[in-house]
Amino acid sequence: MFKKLQSVMVYVEDVEAAKEFWTKKFDFVVKETIELPEDFKGYDLAPNDYAETSMTLFSKDFIRKYSPEVSLETPSLMFEVENIETLYEESKNKGVEVGELVEIPGTKTFNFQDGQGNYFAVGEPVE
């Protein structure tokens, strides 16, 4: 029986650059460094030490070699945030490529690119 979503796996070209992006641009924490065969590494990241769900980064080269049947497409992820206007300005100031900050019914949102061509979104509920 399913209990919860533990981790979302994201496959990237450069796992070290992806780890740096998330930890330096958005202050994610490395919950675990995963030692893999042939000097490959993975990283389990989260917005903070207490987050229930994490994002696990794996190299596309590792997945191609050890799990060639797995799709390498990036999942469409949306993170819930607080103070989205501040995050938007801070992201731009840190050199993150961001889309327009917009309000759709019930949510303020913007998307951003991780430097490897993967796009993600953040949103804050509007009351």
Q: Is 2 a residue whose pLDDT tops 90?
A: no
User: First CA to last CA across the chain, in angstroms?
Assistant: 35
Residue 93 CA to residue 96 CA, distance in Å, equals 7
Q: What is the pLDDT of residues 22-66, one digit of tens each?
A: 999 999 999 999 999 999 999 999 999 999 999 999 999 999 999
Please give the single-letter amino acid code of residue 117. Answer: G
The domains located in the chain, with CATH, are: 7-66 (3.10.180.10), 78-125 (3.10.180.10)
Q: pTM, whole model, 2 decimals?
A: 0.92
